[in-house]
Amino acid sequence: MNKKPPAAAAPTKRAGTPLKERLFVAAQYALPHHPLSWVMRQIANSTWPPLKQRLIEQAIQRLGIDLQEAAMSDPQAYESFNAFFTRALREGARPLAPEPDAVLCPVDGAVSQVGQVSDGRIFQAKGHDYSVLELLGGDEDWARVFDGGAFANLYLSPRDYHRIHMPCSGRLIRTIHVPGRLFSVNPITTRQVPRLFARNERIACLFEAPAGPLAVILVGAIFVSSLETVWGGVLNTPRQIEVCDYGPPAMTVKLQGGAEMGRFNMGSTVILLFGKGKARWSSALKAGMKVRMGQRIGSVLISQDGLHGPGQT
């Protein structure tokens, strides 16, 4: 189970890819991802008023952030840039789809890809895919239950709301932290870096849901130096080099659909996995489509006996 991430492969050269994009991606291979992200974290968590206010004002101006949706609409009220970046929304800002079988969108962002797991692999972009086994840090039992199931890759840009919510109700079975690189996960990089989501640092949160096994995977990215869950706090550590399987939680963790389950700063990606025949995506859900937390993006097929995760009863 404890395996080091595979060695990095070179970026893919594609006919017609602009030179500027190729250079942008190639430069990322040389960057010290984790030291840069550590520096960014120190800056983002600084409470020095001149610095944090300057960063907040620039973000609002350049990213077009609407603070009227936030629980705290006064930009002066945030103690740090990171507190602003991971701000809570005001009550009612993201109404939840009311249907009991709805798969709720867990984030604000855009659809990167959506579809079915085929032969244990997930489609990333034209010419690229990656394995569920690698994504989950080598856990063969859990990888097997998602083969043939539904997947969705959801991209969060820096301007988006950065808390992550449950797509449906579930009971936490285990949490797996997989160390790795911190490539950008923007569309340009996604098109060119092979196995991007299976090589970046990530936290796989595995649940037992009414429709069966569910995975909500938080994928890190450049400058994302903090991957956090509501039950475990910040789980990634700079010096960790091996997969860490936290196993079943010490206390029962049950979360309702729409409940907050984690967060990260800057932009990143959330991956959803459902078991075979247990979820169906809405026909309108397409790559590139903008989505908002709480909207219905699919439906689950609720099992009467409850299909459990590996080894569960």
Averaged pLDDT of the chain:
88
Average pLDDT (90-110) is 96
Q: H or E stretch including 83?
A: helix 81-85
Structure tokens at 125: 């972009």
Contact 80, 98 (CB under 8 A): no
What are the pLDDT digits (tens) for 122-133?
Answer: 999 888 999 999
- Does the pLDDT of residue 312 top 50, yes or no? no
Q: What integer pLDDT is reported at residue 1 of this predicted model?
A: 47
Measured between its terminal Cα atoms, the distance across the chain in Å is: 22
What are the pLDDT digits (tens) for 172-230?
Answer: 999 999 998 888 888 888 988 999 999 999 999 999 998 899 999 999 888 765 788 99
- Does the pLDDT of residue 291 top 80, yes or no? yes
The one-character DSSP state at 294 is T
Q: What integer pLDDT is reported at residue 253 of this predicted model?
A: 96
Give 299 or 31, the one with higher predicted confidence.
299
Q: What integer pLDDT is reported at residue 225 of this predicted model?
A: 59
Average pLDDT (232-259) is 84
* Active-site residue set: 108, 165, 268
The residues near 26 (Cβ < 8 Å, ≥ 6 apart) are: 11
Average pLDDT (261-265) is 87
Q: What integer pLDDT is reported at residue 311 of this predicted model?
A: 45
Q: What integer pLDDT is reported at residue 242 of this predicted model?
A: 84
